[in-house]
Homo-oligomer: A and B are copies of this chain.
Amino acid sequence: MSGPTIYDVARSAGVATSTVSRAFTNPARVGEATRTRVLEVARELGYEPNPHARALTSNRTQTVAMVVSDITNPHFFELIRGAEMRAKAAEYTLVLVNAEESPRIEQEQIRRVARSVDGFLLAASRQPDADLAELAASRPVVLINRQVRGVPSVVVEHSEGCRQMVAHLASLGHTSLVYLAGPRNSWMAGSRWAAIRAAATELGVTAHRSGPYAPTVSSGGAAADAAIGTGASAIIAHNDLLAIGVLRRLAQRSVRVPDDVSVVGFDDIFAADLCTPALTTLGGPHEQVGRAAVEILLDSLTTRQDRRPALHVAPPSQLVIRDSTGTPLGAAPQRQGGAG
């Protein structure tokens, strides 16, 4: 039915099955000549180790799972790509898991695949800290764009990026801005707002927050309306999708960007460069983040579990200035001062 087994190889090579097994998994444990011969025979026979049989005793599956909060979000594509490539280079397989923006589904799915994978990459997890810490205690985990004490993570550096973003707006003459927040349980949303607020205070800019909003184009309508209501001349959207939705709504309402209001996003997705006006956004080396996360995860698979450092890698974000930010012309729409 399916290919040859170590038994076939052992018979052909005239050795014991244990020797064949060791020739593959523990080269030091078997003589050079024997090993060469075994590998030779294996190649001739077209032998491929059965991953399940292997996993059964060794508990190694050569597979890692990447859980993303929403597979729909183009932001993750680069992340996925980076992770996939790094995994492939290490001869690991990547399993893609969609959490559909639900902590419950996220947890269910993690349980479902837990036995089949060696570790988890959790991108923008929506689960509470405690649950993540617990999971990390039992299985190798690397968080992406999420930080939990004691759990290794890769987070795009964004506090300096947020500062640059606010400084950019301030330098254009904006004195008030509104942050359209992402989902309530998004760590990034909280973290960004903190950074934005700090930078705003430092630079003498008024900052409001509105939301939470789903990080999707379709949420942009409501978000835009709320933003205009605040009277701010600059809008910082939680991500590019939301920003694009905002741009659409503003165009509908004949609010000019950037003349009447400036708009910025986060992530620098492919579409940010294509929309009209092209979106100013805080991008990051997402593909590299995906790579790095896999790397750390693979490391922690080989390191003794008890004492491995919980490192937090933070590659720099980059402010990409395009056409959606500019000097606020004349009287910015200070229609009213209500908060979001």
Q: Is A256 an interface residue (CB 8 A)?
A: no
A53 vs B54: C-alpha distance when bound (angstroms): 10
In the complex, the count of this chain's copies comes to 2
- Residues 108-120 of chain A, each 1 if its beta carbon lies under 8 Å from chain B, else 0: 0101111110000
Please, which residues of chain B bring their CB within 8 A of the CB of A270?
74, 271
Q: Is A261 an interface residue (CB 8 A)?
A: no
- Interchain CB contact under 8 A, B48 and A111: yes
- Residues 74-112 of chain A, each 1 if its beta carbon lies under 8 Å from chain B, else 0: 100100110011001001011111100000000001011
Q: Is A52 an interface residue (CB 8 A)?
A: yes
Contact status of A2 and B81, CB under 8 A, knowing A52-B115, A112-B93: no
Q: Is A274 an interface residue (CB 8 A)?
A: yes
Interface size on A, residues (CB 8 A): 41
- Interchain CB contact under 8 A, B71 and A115: no
Please, which residues of chain B bring their CB within 8 A of the CB of A80?
71, 96
Please, which residues of chain B bring their CB within 8 A of the CB of A276?
274, 276
Interface members, chain A 35-93 (any B CB < 8 Å): 48, 50-53, 55-56, 59, 61, 63, 71-72, 74, 77, 80-81, 84-85, 88, 91, 93
Query: What are 30 A-B contacts with C-beta separation under 8 Å?
Result: A2-B59, A2-B115, A48-B111, A52-B55, A52-B61, A63-B116, A71-B77, A71-B81, A72-B77, A74-B74, A74-B270, A77-B77, A80-B96, A81-B98, A84-B96, A84-B98, A85-B98, A88-B98, A88-B109, A91-B112, A93-B112, A93-B113, A93-B116, A94-B96, A96-B96, A270-B271, A271-B271, A274-B274, A274-B275, A276-B276
Q: Which residues of A contact B (CB under 8 A)?
A: 1-2, 48, 50-53, 55-56, 59, 61, 63, 71-72, 74, 77, 80-81, 84-85, 88, 91, 93-98, 109, 111-116, 244, 270-271, 274-276
If A51-B52, A52-B55 are given as contacts, then 7 extra A-B residue pairs at C-beta distance below 8 Å, sorted by A number, are: A51-B115, A74-B77, A93-B95, A93-B112, A94-B95, A274-B275, A275-B275
